[in-house]
């Protein structure tokens, strides 16, 4: 943990295809900087599991590997950003996934200058290999990798590990990657000229990738550019 880093606020956006390691990196970085990891996929899966109205709205799109509506996601994030402690910053895993969401994010958080955008590059064949071995804990929703063991339990809570519904069929996996390619290109283009945009090679070990991102965050978020991470609910209606 690095609580003494002189940065008053650290916000990190992780971009990358399903299986690129965003979830793992979000947790490592959140632990390192002592900030929250916010995963839209995890939030949605817990709503689906709990059978909430929001979960019911999201379920079918998620099972088909499609994105859920921008309005629904922006509403969820608006609640997330307002939670206590979030003024210190957070790592975003799975948001924004469309240009609409990227614009909404700029309206929701202020000043946007405290944001580092990290693209995790992993080739498609490697992503497909990783998705085949990915498991999610039925109890705490955390993600792990299967190593072929017969009894698989979550290292966090001991719950039974399962295949994610949207990882089950190769056809759905490929569809999710196609959806990612369709939307991500425009999101990456949207951020490509942002001064704190960095691309990292995600094929290395999780620890190496994390160390590179930590270095980039320290370099890009200079303590001299001090400000806090305010939530800006009033401008939500400005999003178009």
134 catalytically annotated: yes
* 16, 17, 21, 65: residue in contact with ligand AMP (rule CB under 6 A): 65
81 contacts ligand AMP (rule: CB under 6 A): no
Shortest spacing between CB 106 and ligand AMP, in angstroms: 15
68 binds ligand AMP (CB under 6 A): yes
- Whether residue 22 lies in the annotated active site: yes
Q: Cβ-closest residue to ligand AMP?
A: 41
59, 88, 97, 135: the active-site residue: 97
Position 16 contacts ligand AMP (CB under 6 A):
no
CB 25 within 8 A of CB 204: no
Region from 2-10, 95-103, 191-199, 219-227 binding ligand AMP, contact rule CB under 6 A? 95-103
Binding of ligand AMP at residue 17 (CB under 6 A)? no
Closer residue to ligand AMP (CB): 97 or 114:
97
| Footprint of ligand AMP (CB under 6 A) | 18, 40-41, 44, 61-62, 65-68, 73, 94-95, 97, 101, 166, 176
Residues carrying an active site annotation: 22, 97, 134, 164, 176
């Amino acid at each position: 943990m690095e609580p003494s880093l002189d940065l008053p606020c650290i916000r990190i956006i992780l971009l990358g295809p399903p299986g690129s390691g965003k979830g793992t990196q979000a947790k490592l970085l959140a632990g390192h900087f002592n900030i929250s990891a916010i995963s839209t996929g995890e939030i949605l899966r817990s709503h689906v599991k709990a059978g909430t109205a929001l979960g019911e709205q999201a379920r079918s799109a998620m099972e088909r590997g499609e994105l859920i509506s921008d309005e629904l996601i922006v509403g969820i994030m608006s609640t997330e950003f307002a939670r206590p402690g979030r003024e210190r910053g957070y790592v975003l895993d799975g948001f924004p996934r469309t240009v609409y969401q990227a614009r909404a994010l700029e309206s929701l958080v202020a000043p946007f200058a405290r944001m580092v955008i990290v693209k995790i590059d992993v080739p498609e064949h490697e992503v497909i290999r990783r998705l085949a071995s990915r498991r999610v804990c039925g109890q705490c929703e955390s993600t792990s990798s299967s190593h072929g063991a017969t009894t698989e339990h979550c290292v966090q809570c001991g719950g039974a590990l399962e295949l994610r519904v949207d990882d089950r069929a190769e056809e759905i996996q490929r569809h999710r990657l196609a959806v990612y390619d369709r939307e991500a290109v425009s999101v990456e283009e949207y951020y490509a000229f942002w001064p704190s945009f960095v691309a990292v090679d995600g094929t290395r070990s999780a620890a190496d990738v994390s160390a590179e991102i930590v270095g980039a965050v320290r370099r890009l978020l200079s303590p001299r550019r001090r400000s806090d991470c305010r939530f800006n609910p009033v401008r939500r209606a400005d999003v178009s």
